[in-house]
Structure 1
């Protein structure tokens, strides 16, 4: 019973870390990385479809991405989708390949992105703490129903706290790495 609660809490905490990882991928640094375009949705025959399902995204050089649509008629649609995304990118088409240059980041832009990363990390920490709270309340319910004793409850809470500490440390590590990545010129 306690192990079920612990594993459920661990799943929720892992999901929080995964969500933070994808949020960090959306925060662009000055370098080209295909994950930057993961949030771009393309109108593919009337259906909103992720860019990576209709084209391949590759790194041409340190500051340029290339997008190669699998269907030639999608070039203008993909170009428009990248332009209208909230990423601030201006694609340039040459034939059936779309090049997406990464603009240089100003010091002010970098600081704003670090603020965004810190806010995302705080959301991740809150989510992890919420998973801890839910697990602890389930343990208290089991104690009230006399399905476990106080020692088992305390032991369960300690194990869940160790999980929480581990996942929050992961969030801190990810945030530190993202800050260094953003502030590197």
Structure 2
């Protein structure tokens, strides 16, 4: 019973860290990445489709993404979707190839993005702590129902705290790595 609580807490904390990594991929550094356009939806014959399903996306150099729609008539809708997204990039079209040039980030913008990354990290830490609280609550419920001893409860809470400390350390490492990536010129 206690092992299930610990495993559940560890799994949920790992998912929180994965969610943080996924969210931080969308933060634009000075470097081109196909993940920047993953969240863009394109109107494809009346339904919204992810950009990756209507076009090939490739990194042509450090600051340029090339998007090649599978169908010639999809160039316009893809351009519209990029302009409507919150990327703040203007597509350059040459025939059926769309190029996105990523401008170099200013020092002010880097610091602003660094604060955003730090805030996302804090949100992930709050999520991890909430998971710890839930796990400890489950342990206390078992103790209250006299299904476990006080020693077992104490040991389990100590183990849950170790799992939490490890997860928070992982969050800090993810945030630190992203901040270093942002500050690199």
Partner of 1:139: 139
Which runs of no fewer than 5 residues in structure 2 stay unpaired?
Answer: none
Corresponding residue SS for 1:167: helix
Corresponding residue SS for 1:152: helix
Q: Deviations over 1:99-153 (max 9, x none)?
A: 1110111111111100110011011110011111100100000110111111111
Which runs of no fewer than 5 residues in structure 1 stay unpaired?
Answer: none
Q: How many Å separate the matches in 2 of 1:47 and 1:107?
A: 40
Matches within 5 A, 1:15-164: 15-164=15-164
Q: How many Å separate the matches in 2 of 1:91 and 1:80?
A: 9
Shift in Å, 1:175? 0.8
Q: Deviations over 1:75-113 (max 9, x none)?
A: 111111111111111111111111111011111111110
Shift in Å, 1:71? 2.1
Q: How many Å separate the matches in 1 of 2:99 and 2:43?
A: 19
Normalised by the size of structure 1, how large is the TM-score? Answer: 0.96
Q: How many Å separate the matches in 2 of 1:168 and 1:105?
A: 29
Corresponding residue SS for 1:146: coil
Corresponding residue SS for 2:66: strand
Q: Deviations over 1:9-34 (max 9, x none)?
A: 11211111111111111110011011
Find runs of 4+ consecutive structure 1 residues off by over 3 angstroms. Answer: none
Instruction: Work out the number of aligned pairs and report it.
Output: 185
Q: How many Å separate the matches in 2 of 1:72 and 1:14?
A: 42
Q: Deviations over 1:56-82 (max 9, x none)?
A: 211000100011222222111111111
